[in-house]
Structure 1
Amino acid sequence: MVFTVRMPPVADRPSPADPPDLFDRLAEIGAAEAGPGHAPQVLYERHGVLVVRVGDVVVKAHQANRDGGPLLERRMRVADTLPGLLLPSLGPPRDVDGRVVTLWPYGEPVTPDPDALPWEDGARLLARLHSTPPPEDVPGWGRPERVARQVAKLDGDTAAEREIRRAFGTLPAWLRGGANGRPRPPHGDRRALLHGDWHMGQMVRVQGTWRLIDVEDLGAGDPAWDLARPAALYSAGVLAHSDWSRFLGAYRAFQGPAVPAEGDPWEVLDIPARTLVVQIAATCVQSARKDDRPLDGTEQALVDTCTRISSVGSPA
């Protein structure tokens, strides 16, 4: 649910949650780039993001509260210099009726079949990305602070919310907003180029080759955070041991620097994995409440993992 790709159904019109004119504007932009004869389709609509495909062109309207200025342009320029790893854009970001919009070539997404997920390809891309010296002007990666924002949105007192808050309390102070609220990178001065929000939905295949997409969080930081989501889901029992072994083994085989080549990888993955468990669990509780439904099995497993975290952890 959180890692294997659950894509919304393709549609030829936006859902009622989006202003119809935004869909029309993206479709118009895509048609101008792709040429006539292609019916626009909604590929993705979630969390304030709308993605429309027109032929071989994808037009993305970014979240209204995400940085869409110089930082995004710098990240996109870095991606354009690594076309073998990251999908290059079709031009700089543009402003469309107050929304940041970017254009990309269409790529085939990862199949949602859990038995056909390209773990080795994902590991290879990340290992190569992490081994690429980050350009001097690439922004720093600050996403770890997102866990504090997600937990702060829990405004109820359900059992799940209490367990998440307890687990959050075991995270280091710099993640919880301590140390003057400024995140600091763990593990000394480890500085690599990382994707910043990696999961299987961040990969597409173009002309038979897998590429990374969505560069809003691309930056310099500790590469262990790119392994945090699968590590979190594995620790929660959501990701099968065989899949985790394939991914971690391939990452090490491709000499990825995020974990030691041998020995215990959890020395560097423990804090990122715990953080993502808490963050994803908080997101799941919010989604379930919004949809007025109980937690599903995967979501409950993440909350249960928060219980285990709080039972053995201590504030750092």
Structure 2
Amino acid sequence: MTALLPALTAQARLRARHSDDCACSDPHGVLADRPDATVVRHAQVVAKAHAPGTPELTLTARLAAAAHPDLADTLLAPLSPRPDRLHDRLVTLWPHGTPVDRDDPDAAPWEAVAALLARLHRTPPTRFQAALPPMRGPEKAARAVARMRAAAPHPAASPVERAWAVLPPWARDEAPYPGPAHLCHGDLHLGQLVRAPEGRWLLIDIDDLGTGNPAWDLARPAAWYACGLLLPEEWTSFLNAYRAAGGPAVPADGADPWPALDVPARALTVQTAALAIAKAVAGERALDEVEETLVDACRRMAAVPPDLAPTCAK
């Protein structure tokens, strides 16, 4: 990581100078520095080093999808059509966008993200020249459970394991999704949204982009709402905007959306709870109030099979 960071910064600076004659005083800095991603900014250019072992063909197919004209109003387009390689890591370049203000949760653009998701889900995967892989939502949920298991034993792990066990195999990344495959983001949350210089909101982060169940992209806000972590009016605004934009993940006629959202929302709840437990063990700390809420939700979910009404749905 020590050698990668300055090389990545230099690449962002070089691209910025070629594109707009930036000055050394322009905004720059490290946006993220984790084992799975290192992201830096110089002026209006962002450079991202993807996770070690990322397949080049897969990432290139995802880049091509993000650059496709059909998604110009949905996904932030990359600055280069193919990844570069630095210190054995694949690197992509992007224009800088303004993220959602974390200090102003009341201004969260739920309607905007819902409309973006609907457009993404309505785009036929066959539009793209290179075939896209399955979206990585279930894979990330399975990795979170594996990370919890690798941590020291924790008393909260048992209800999370039970909630995980009652999910169908496709949601645990043990089988392909059996339904119609739509284009999906794969890891939707408000951190995956930026405002472009011209003012429109766009989705970012294509690492999990692919085909699968579009309800997975609605699962995190659905789980938050069901567990009391998202206000009912915010959930309603999000869901209504998604339906108004023609999103295919839930019935368009106002019918109960939970039969479609139940399994993905449960899987995202398990994923979030499992990661919370793993981080609590690593930090040698107790679970906080929100993390306890997620574990309690897993306890209730484990008691009712997912083909019944969600136990924590409002």
TM-score interval w.r.t. the shorter chain? 0.7 to 0.9
| Alpha-carbon contact 1:68-1:93 (below 8 Å) kept | no
Question: Could you say which residue in structure 2 is the equivalent of 1:70?
Answer: 57
For residue 285 of structure 1, the aligned residue among 277, 292, 295 is 277
- Report the equivalent of 1:50: 38
Residue from 136, 150, 161 that aligns with 2:144: 150
Q: Separation in 2 of the partners of 1:148 and 1:223?
A: 18
RMSD of Structure 2 on Structure 1 (CA)? 1.8
Q: Choose which of 192, 202, 207 in structure 2 pairs with 1:202.
A: 192
Q: Secondary structure at the match of 1:154?
A: helix
Q: 1:117 to 1:47 in 2, by over 3 A?
A: farther
Cα distance, 1:264 vs structure 2: 0.6
Aligned to 1:14: none
Q: What percent identity do the matched residue pairs reach?
A: 45
| Alignment map for 1:232-311 (pairs within 5 Å) | 232-261=223-252, 262-311=254-303
Q: In structure 2, what is the Cα distance between the partners aligned to 1:46 and 1:239?
A: 27
Aligned partner of 2:10 among 28, 32, 44: 28
Of 154, 160, 166, the match for 1:170:
166
- How much has 1:175 moved relative to structure 2? 3.5
- The 4+ residue runs of structure 1 with deviation greater than 4 A are none
| TM-score computed with the length of structure 1 as normaliser | 0.87
TM-score of the pair, normalised by structure 2:
0.88
Report the CA distance between 1:47 and its aligned residue: 4.5
The 2-side partners of 1:146 and 1:237 are apart by: 23
Paired residue secondary structure (2:38): strand
Deviations 1:224-249 (A, max 9, x none): 11111111111121111111111001
Residue 314 of structure 1 deviates from its aligned partner by: 6.9
Q: One-letter code of the match for 1:23?
A: L
Aligned residue type for 2:274: A
Shift of 1:129: 0.9
**Corresponding residue of 1:60:** 48
Equivalent-residue separation in structure 1 for 2:232 and 2:34 (angstroms): 30
Q: In 1, are the aligned partners of 2:122 and 2:247 still within 8 Å (CA)?
A: yes
**Contact 2:189/2:220, CA 8 A, preserved across alignment:** yes
* C-alpha distance in structure 2 between counterparts of 1:47 and 1:194, whole Å: 24
**Cα separation, 2, equivalents of 1:312 and 1:139:** 32
Name which of structure 1's ranges 200-209 and 287-296 shifts more when overlaid on structure 2: 287-296
Aligned length: 291
Residues 190-249 of structure 1: CA deviation (Å, up to 9, x unaligned)? 221111111111111111011111011111212111111111111121111111111001
Alignment of 1:141 with 2:152, yes or no, is: no
In structure 1, give the amino acid aligned to 2:154.
T
SS in 2 for 1:146: helix
CA distance in 2, matches of 1:63, 1:75: 15
Structure 1 residue 168, shift from structure 2 partner: 1.0
Mapped partners of 1:141, 1:68: distance in 2: 14
CA–CA distance in 2 between the matches of 1:138 and 1:278? 26
Q: Distance in 1 between matches of 2:141 and 2:269?
A: 9
Distance 1:314 1:214, change over 3 A: closer
Deviation at 1:315, TM superposition (A): 9.8
Q: Distance in 1 between matches of 2:140 and 2:47?
A: 26
The AA in structure 2 aligned to 1:128 is R
Residue in 1 aligned with 2:85?
A: 95
C-alpha distance in structure 1 between counterparts of 2:301 and 2:47, whole Å: 40
Tell me how far apart the structure 1 counterparts of residues 35 and 106 of structure 2 sit (CA, whole Å): 28
Q: In structure 1, the residue corresponding to 2:247 is in which secondary structure?
A: coil
Deviation at 1:142, TM superposition (A): 4.2
Cα distance, 1:280 vs. partner? 0.9
Q: What is the alpha-carbon distance in structure 2 between the residues aligned to residue 226 and residue 176 of structure 1?
A: 16
Give CA-to-partner distance per residue, 1:243-268, whole Å, 9 cap, x none. Answer: 11110011111111110012110111
- 1:39 shift after superposition: 5.6
- 1:18-57 per-residue CA deviation (whole Å, 9 max, x = no partner) reads 42x2221111001101124246301122353111000000
Worse-superposed segment, 200-209 or 137-146: 137-146
- Secondary structure of 2:234's partner? helix
